[in-house]
Amino acid sequence: MSVMQAYQGVVRQGRIQITPPAELPEGSEVYVVVTGQPVRLTAVAGVLHVSPDRPAMEREQEAFRQMLPELLNRYRDQYVAVYQGQVIDHDRDQTALVMRLDQTHPEAAVLVKRVTAEPERVLRMPSPRLSRDG
Amino acid sequence: MRRISSDYDHERYDPAAPVVEIGVAKSGSADPAIRLTALVDSGADATMLPIDVLQTAGGRYITTRKMRGVAGRPIAVEMYLVKLFIGPLTFLGIEAVAMTPNSDAILGRDVLNQMIVTLNGLANVVELSQ
């Protein structure tokens, strides 16, 4: 029996871009459903900073996700530092860990994350502001 | 009990809004590297700071999370680890969302829930105590 999976995406310049990016199995049969609705970015999207280190950090996040079952066995409830796909340090004290990273990897994009089985919640920033421009 | 009192801001916000002066520093610092005024926003899950403030303070980019505003789908945001100062109070391990330069700083519930926060709208004063 085949399993169907749904992905969200947006049409840009005639191509479908899946957001967030996903690796689809080569040769998979796909169906496309067009909602007709333009994508609505969250209200605060225009004021968010994007670091040049974002792609590197996302790679470390993906490595963290892949390693999570093993990390739960070894470092549950600790903070781990992940760099180039490897755990390079860990500590129960997040501040102490980051202070060490400031010494050992001052400029590197190092992921610092708590090892927990709980899914990470989406942060909410619901406070709307009235424009004073009329 | 340590208490801070701050007047609402009538100039930048209409209606006037509760604001407080905060200091920001890198993890482990004894003193703030930079001071600025932040909006007291109990609707915000997290504290949000302009990137120029985070960089001046020496905050470290530690992870990326998803955030949702009042409408629309969640988007990725960058989290920086900093230490915050409000008057004599200090807050360690604050993961602040990075915003573009000159954005309003926002003090969210990650910090506010560590204090007693009293909004006196009639007097246009916010009081924070711990």
> Is there a domain that residue A125 lies in?
no
Nearest of B79, B73, B6, B19 to residue B45 by alpha carbon: B79
**pLDDT class of A109 with cuts at 50, 70, 90:** very high
Q: Is the pTM of this model over 0.95?
A: no
Query: Under an 8 A CB cutoff, do A125 and B26 touch?
Result: no
3-state secondary structure A53-121: CHHHHHHHHHHHHHHHHHHHHHHCCCEEEEECCEEEEEECCHHHHHHHHHHHCCCCCCEEEECCCCCCC
> Is there a domain that residue A99 lies in?
yes
Structural domain range at position A82: 54-114
Instruction: Please say if the pLDDT value at position A93 is more than 60.
Output: yes
Asked if residue A65 and residue A44 are part of one domain, the reply reads: no
The domain total for chain A is: 2
pLDDT of residue A125: 86
Selecting from B70, B77, B93 the residue whose C-beta is nearest the C-beta of A95 gives: B93
Asked if residue A110 and residue A79 are part of one domain, the reply reads: yes
In single-letter form, the type of residue at position B7 comes to: D
Measured in residues, chain A has a length of: 134
Measure the CA–CA gap between A52 and A129, rounded to whole angstroms. Answer: 29
User: Chain A within 8 Å of B73 (Cβ-Cβ)?
Assistant: yes
> What is the per-residue pLDDT across A35-91, written as a single tens digit (0 to 9) for each?
666 555 455 667 889 999 999 999 999 999 999 999 999 999 999 999 999 999 999
What does DSSP assign to residue A92? S
Asked if residue A70 and residue A105 are part of one domain, the reply reads: yes
Measure the CA–CA gap between A47 and A121, rounded to whole angstroms. Answer: 21
> Is there a domain that residue A131 lies in?
no
Asked if residue A39 and residue A12 are part of one domain, the reply reads: yes
What does DSSP assign to residue B6? E
Question: What's the alpha-carbon Rg for chain B, to the nearest Å?
Answer: 14
Residue with tokens 């989290």: B79
Measure the CA–CA gap between A36 and B104, rounded to whole angstroms. Answer: 34
Asked if residue A63 and residue A45 are part of one domain, the reply reads: no
> Is there a domain that residue A86 lies in?
yes
User: Chain A within 8 Å of B11 (Cβ-Cβ)?
Assistant: no
Please report residues of A whose CB lies closer than 8 A to that of B77.
48, 123
For A44, residues 6+ apart whose C-beta sits below 8 A from its C-beta are: A125, B67, B69
SS3 of residue A93 by DSSP = coil
Selecting from B64, B73, B100 the residue whose C-beta is nearest the C-beta of A61 gives: B64
> Is there a domain that residue A35 lies in?
yes
pLDDT of residue A38: 58
Measure the CA–CA gap between A68 and B121, rounded to whole angstroms. Answer: 47
> Is there a domain that residue A124 lies in?
no
Residue with tokens 């230490």: B83
Query: Under an 8 A CB cutoff, do B64 and A57 touch?
Result: yes
pLDDT averages per 10-residue partition of chain B, 130 residues: 94 95 95 97 95 97 91 88 96 96 94 97 96
User: Chain A within 8 Å of B109 (Cβ-Cβ)?
Assistant: no
Q: Which of A10, A19, A41, A47 to mutate to test the interface with B (most CBs of B within 10 A)?
A: A47
> Is there a domain that residue A126 lies in?
no
Asked if residue A10 and residue A46 are part of one domain, the reply reads: yes
Selecting from A95, A110, A126 the residue whose C-beta is nearest the C-beta of B92 gives: A95
* A88, A110 contact by CB (below 8 A): yes
